[in-house]
């Protein structure tokens, strides 16, 4: 059954629920959003807990996020997830923003209630859990290089690194324009963290990568079949931990090169899982959907090859 809808479909329950036993009451919005794996883990959790609700995907054009929220609230939605490129727009549309989301500068989870729109960010806390699970050490113990630090995901993860007090944080981006204000904000949030910024063309990039413990790719390079790696092979070494926030394909060119160099690797499936669990718990406190969501994600990732 179709779980992908358009912004215009948010006008009536008849459109959203035709042919379904359960009403659509949760969603992920993005542009594009057809590729999202979120329904594949949230729906099994809803079903396992006996919650009479469907989780759908809604393609919302930029500039229409606040109106989409208004329509969803009017239709009785419990909440929604927010993916690219809407996380900054979502922050501006909220009536109440959780302190962590305010620090991270973006919202990826919305809860609707009688008091309005509540905004949360589960990307940062989800990343903390993902790193601990994949590499066996707390994020706070790593010196970190973030490739693509100027984007929404990069800024959220960089901010979480500063909040965790990582010893060293190197921000890498195509353009340095976005990194100046971010660098200052991170230094204020994490006064014990040594924060620096550079471009992908910087002569010191190799040394920065080889001298760190953890490289995180938050760029979209690796999503397309003909993509290369966002970082050259000589930036990688044995013993390094490399995390690519992309989860499809499961092995990106960066992760393939990292494995050849003897690095430990992980992809974004664990981040998707843990941020999803935290989002679910904002909608349904005192629930524990982790095991159900993990099984559903691994089943779908195996099916995708």
87 labelled catalytic: yes
Selecting among 22, 57, 73, 87, the annotated active-site residue is 87
Q: What is the rounded distance in angstroms from the CA atom of residue 273 to the CA atom of residue 297?
A: 7
Q: Match 């809407």 to its residue by tokens.
A: 86
Instruction: Of 107, 15, 5, 121, give the one whose Cα is nearest residue 66.
Output: 107
Note whether 157 and 218 are within 8 A (CB): yes
Note whether 234 and 211 are within 8 A (CB): no
For residue 216, the SS3 value is: strand
Omega within 30 of 0 (cis) for the link into 250 = no
User: What is the edge-to-edge ordering of all strands in the sheet holding 54-59?
Assistant: 4-6, 54-59, 24-30, 79-82, 109-113, 116-120, 96-97
Instruction: Of 93, 71, 96, give the one whose Cα is nearest residue 82.
Output: 93
The catalytic residue positions are 87
């Amino acid at each position: 059954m179709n779980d992908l809808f358009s912004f215009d479909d948010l006008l009536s329950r008849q459109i959203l629920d035709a042919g379904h036993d359960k009403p659509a009451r949760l969603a992920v919005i993005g542009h594009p959003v057809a590729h999202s794996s979120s329904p594949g883990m949230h729906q099994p959790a809803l079903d396992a807990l006996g919650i009479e609700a469907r989780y759908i995907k809604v393609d919302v054009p930029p500039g229409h996020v606040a109106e989409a929220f208004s329509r969803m609230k009017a239709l009785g939605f419990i909440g929604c997830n927010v993916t690219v490129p809407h996380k900054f727009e979502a922050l501006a549309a909220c009536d109440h923003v959780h302190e962590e989301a305010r620090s991270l500068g973006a919202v990826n989870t919305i809860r609707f209630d009688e008091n309005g729109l509540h905004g949360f960010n589960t990307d940062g806390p989800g990343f903390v859990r993902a790193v601990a699970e994949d590499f066996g050490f707390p994020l706070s113990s790593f010196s970190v290089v973030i490739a693509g630090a100027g984007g929404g995901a990069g800024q959220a993860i960089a901010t979480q690194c500063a909040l965790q007090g990582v010893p060293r944080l190197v921000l890498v981006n195509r353009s340095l324009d976005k990194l100046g204000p971010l660098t200052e904000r991170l230094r204020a949030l994490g006064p014990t963290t040594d924060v620096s910024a550079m471009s992908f063309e910087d002569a010191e990039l190799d040394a920065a990568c080889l001298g760190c413990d953890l490289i995180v790719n938050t760029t979209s390079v690796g999503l397309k079949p003909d993509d290369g790696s966002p970082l050259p092979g000589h930036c990688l070494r044995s013993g390094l931990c490399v995390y690519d926030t992309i989860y499809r394909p499961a092995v990106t060119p960066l992760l393939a090169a990292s494995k050849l160099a003897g690095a430990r690797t992980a992809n974004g499936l664990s981040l998707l899982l843990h941020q999803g669990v935290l989002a679910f718990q904002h909608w349904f406190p005192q629930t524990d959907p982790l095991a159900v969501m993990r099984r559903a994600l691994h089943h779908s990732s195996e099916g995708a090859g």
